[in-house]
Amino acid sequence: MNKMNWRNSIAILVLGLSATTFAQSNLLNAKTPDQIGKKTEAELSADNDKPLPYGYVHDRDILMGKRIWEFIDLDERVNFPLYFPVEGDVMSSPDRRPLYNVLINGIKEGKITEVYDSSYFTSKKTLKDIEASLFMVDTTDAGREQMNEDINAYRKRVVKKIVGKGKDRREIEEVIEPTKKISDEFIRKTEIQAYDVNAYKIVGYWYFDKRQGELKYRLLGICPVVPDVYTMGNVEKDYIELFWVYFPSTRDILHEAKAFNNRNSAMPFSFDHLLNARRFSGMIYLEENVYGDRKIADYMKENAQMQLLESDRVKEKIRDFEQDMWNY
């Protein structure tokens, strides 16, 4: 956990525990497997809570503020709760879903509406726009060979015909529908799944609250990073930002979805708690700056070690602001 926000984490943790008490509901009392997970009316009433509200922060109370972008690598063990489970029967359980499925299902069901194409949240992205990056339908080599045997029979064509005589003679266009269809076995359908998610990008705001004398963090947006569906078959894939979700608008959805707690499976964390409490490892790749918010990689080129050191320098600069406030 990041040291810069330990105070916020304690408050969120205390309130988050009450929401996860019944993760293994009825497990010890169930007589048949289908009774596992079914809660009593008392349990449902106790579990009918909401995420901890942020509260109002006046602009005059912010002594220092800095917008920061981070990269969450899902290959790091500490970030596994954001990634797993990605396959098997476990995914069908409402208490065990990867973050990607929670987000994409929320968008498809219309529960998550604040979806954008960038981390500046200026232009909205529709489900149709997202699906264009999720699916690809292609024909295999065997299918192309089948189509080349009689190519006109497999495609829709527009031909011109002369009709009428004399003064009534005119040219018309006639649409000829395909007479043959490529066999389904020769159609290759590719769809981005939860196991394809490589990382998440997040943007948040670090600020010093002068009324409370604390350095605080507010998560603003999150974005799954996935392979470009058109490069899925390549050895080296291209990765894209699938969509940016404005985080405060999704808190109710993420509060209901649970992430696995490896230390105590009876008390999982909600994704809302996990992200707000910064129970993940992230690397800063961009900070708000005078150069048009240029990325660290733009001025620390082709040197991964220097980029990591620069990321740590930015992190230390923010943390030191709070430490310096108490120096005499």
pLDDT tens per residue, range 275-324: 999 999 999 999 999 999 999 999 999 889 999 999 999 999 999 988 88
Domain boundary, last residue among 157, 172, 187: 187
Q: What distance in Å separates the CA atoms of residue 243 and residue 229, rounded to the nearest whole number?
A: 14
> Do 206 and 293 share a domain, yes or no?
yes
| pLDDT at 107 (0 to 100) | 96
- Read off the pLDDT band of 7 (50, 70, 90): very low
State which H helix or E strand residue 133 sits in.
helix 127-134
- Return the bridge partners of 139, or none: 187
Q: Where is mean pLDDT largest: 84-88, 91-95, 171-175, 311-315?
A: 311-315
Phi (first) and psi of residue 123, to 5 degrees: -125, 125
Q: What distance in Å separates the CA atoms of residue 267 and residue 239, rounded to the nearest whole number?
A: 34
- Retrieve residue 225's tokens: 């990073």
| pLDDT at 1 (0 to 100) | 44
Q: What distance in Å separates the CA atoms of residue 69 and residue 295, rounded to the nearest whole number?
A: 9
> Do 56 and 153 share a domain, yes or no?
no
Nearest to 103 by CA among 219, 251, 237: 251
Phi (first) and psi of residue 304, to 5 degrees: -65, -35
Nearest to 63 by CA among 207, 219, 216: 207
> Do 207 and 117 share a domain, yes or no?
yes
Range of the domain at 161: 138-187
> Do 165 and 35 share a domain, yes or no?
no
> Do 247 and 311 share a domain, yes or no?
yes
**DSSP code at position 272:** H
Whether 264 shows a pLDDT value over 50: the answer reads: yes
Q: Which residues contact 20 (CB under 8 A, 6 or more apart)?
A: 258, 261, 267, 268, 269, 270
| pLDDT at 322 (0 to 100) | 85
Whether 14 shows a pLDDT value over 50: the answer reads: no
- Alpha carbon dihedral 260, 117, 202, 232, in 10-degree steps, equals 60
> Do 158 and 57 share a domain, yes or no?
no
CA 13 to chain centre: 23
**DSSP code at position 117:** S
- Read off the pLDDT band of 327 (50, 70, 90): low
| pLDDT at 27 (0 to 100) | 72
Domain boundary, last residue among 146, 170, 187: 187
Mean pLDDT across 15-22: 40
> Do 183 and 222 share a domain, yes or no?
no
| pLDDT at 205 (0 to 100) | 97
> Do 238 and 122 share a domain, yes or no?
yes
> Do 236 and 129 share a domain, yes or no?
yes
- Retrieve residue 94's tokens: 């409402």
Whether 220 shows a pLDDT value over 90: the answer reads: yes
Domain boundary, last residue among 187, 220, 245: 187
Burial string for 115-152 (b: 16+ CB within 10 Å, else e) reads bbbebebeeebeeeebeebbebeeeeeebeebbeeeee
> Do 194 and 91 share a domain, yes or no?
yes
> Do 145 and 237 share a domain, yes or no?
no
Whether 5 shows a pLDDT value over 50: the answer reads: no
Q: What distance in Å separates the CA atoms of residue 282 and residue 1, rounded to the nearest whole number?
A: 10
Q: What distance in Å separates the CA atoms of residue 246 and residue 4, rounded to the nearest whole number?
A: 23
The DSSP annotation for 189-219 comes to EEE--GGG--EEEEEEEEEEETTTTEEEEEE
Q: What distance in Å separates the CA atoms of residue 20 and residue 270, rounded to the nearest whole number?
A: 8
Whether 219 shows a pLDDT value over 50: the answer reads: yes
User: What's the number of domains the chain is made of?
Assistant: 2
> Do 103 and 203 share a domain, yes or no?
yes
- DSSP, collapsed to helix, strand or coil, labels residue 58 as coil
pLDDT tens per residue, range 41-56: 776 676 667 898 998 9
